[in-house]
Amino acid sequence: MPRRILMIALAILAASLVLEAQSLPTQLSSEGFRKLIADLSEPGGSFQYENFVSNEDDYAKVLPGLRKTVKAGGIYIGVGPEQNFTYITTFRPAMAFVIDIRRQNMLEHLFYKALFETSSDRSDFVSRLFARTRPPGLDAKTNVTTLFKAFEAAKPDQKLFDTTLAAALERLDRVHGFQLSDEDKAAIRKVYTAFFQGGPQMDYRFNSYTAPTASATYTQLMSASDADGGMWSYLVSEENFRLIQDYQRKNLIVPLVGDFGGPKTIRAIGQYAKDHKATVNAFYTSNVDEYLFRDTAKDRFFASVATLPMDPSSAIIRFVGGPGGLSPLDTIKIAPGMRWASLACSMPQLVEAYTAGKLSSRVEANRLCRQ
Q: Cα(52)–Cα(176) distance, rounded to whole angstroms?
A: 23
Q: Cα(363)–Cα(71) distance, rounded to whole angstroms?
A: 27
Could you give the C-alpha distances from 163 to 27, 138, 167, 215, in angstroms and in order? 29, 22, 6, 30
Give the closest residue to 95 by CA, choosing from 369, 280, 370. Answer: 280
| Structure confidence by residue, pLDDT tens digits, 217-273 | 999 999 999 999 999 999 999 999 999 999 999 999 999 999 999 999 999 999 999
More confident residue, 185 or 3: 185
Mean pLDDT of 298-322: 97
DSSP secondary-structure letter at 229?
S
Reported confidence tier of residue 210, pLDDT bands at 50, 70, 90 = low
Q: Cα(286)–Cα(284) distance, rounded to whole angstroms?
A: 6
Q: Is 7 exposed, middle or buried (0-12, 13-18, 19+ CB in 10 A)?
A: exposed
Q: What percent of the chain has pLDDT over 70?
A: 93
Task: State yes or no: pLDDT of 16 exceeds 60.
Answer: no
Coil, helix or strand at residue 10: helix
- Residues 6 or more apart whose CB falls under 8 angstroms from that of 192 comprise 111, 131, 161, 164, 165, 168
Q: Cα(15)–Cα(168) distance, rounded to whole angstroms?
A: 41
Give the closest residue to 301 by CA, choosing from 313, 285, 321, 312. Answer: 285
Domain extents in the chain: 34-370
239, 88 in Cβ contact below 8 A?
A: no
Instruction: State in Å, rounded, how far the first CA of the chain is from the last one.
Output: 52
User: What residues are paired with 284 via a beta bridge?
Assistant: 317
Could you give the C-alpha distances from 316 to 154, 266, 280, in angstroms and in order? 38, 14, 10
For the ranges 155-164, 223-232, 322-331, the lowest mean pLDDT is seen at 322-331
Task: State yes or no: pLDDT of 10 exceeds 90.
Answer: no
Q: Cα(109)–Cα(98) distance, rounded to whole angstroms?
A: 9
Task: State yes or no: pLDDT of 17 exceeds 50.
Answer: no
Task: State yes or no: pLDDT of 339 exceeds 70.
Answer: yes
Q: Cα(135)–Cα(83) distance, rounded to whole angstroms?
A: 25
294, 40 in Cβ contact below 8 A?
A: no
Mean pLDDT of 198-218: 83
Radius of gyration of the chain (CA): 21
| Structure confidence by residue, pLDDT tens digits, 90-134 | 999 999 999 999 999 999 999 999 999 999 999 999 999 999 999
| Structure confidence by residue, pLDDT tens digits, 211-224 | 667 789 999 999 99
Q: What is the pLDDT of residue 4?
A: 53
| Structure confidence by residue, pLDDT tens digits, 31-64 | 999 999 999 999 988 887 788 999 999 999 999 9
256, 86 in Cβ contact below 8 A?
A: no
Total residues belonging to the chain: 371
Q: What is the pLDDT of residue 19?
A: 42
Q: Cα(321)–Cα(357) distance, rounded to whole angstroms?
A: 25
Q: What is the pLDDT of residue 208?
A: 72
Q: Cα(196)–Cα(127) distance, rounded to whole angstroms?
A: 10
Q: What is the pLDDT of residue 205?
A: 82
Q: Cα(132)–Cα(142) distance, rounded to whole angstroms?
A: 17
Q: Is the pTM of this model over 0.85?
A: yes
Task: State yes or no: pLDDT of 12 exceeds 70.
Answer: no
Could you give the C-alpha distances from 167 to 71, 179, 276, in angstroms and in order? 37, 15, 35
Q: What is the pLDDT of residue 209?
A: 63
Element (H, E) at 56: none
Q: Cα(119)–Cα(131) distance, rounded to whole angstroms?
A: 13
Residue 232 phi/psi, 5-degree rounding, is -125, -5
What average pLDDT does the structure give for the chain?
A: 93
Q: What is the pLDDT of residue 2?
A: 52
Q: Is 343 exposed, middle or buried (0-12, 13-18, 19+ CB in 10 A)?
A: buried
Task: State yes or no: pLDDT of 177 exceeds 50.
Answer: yes
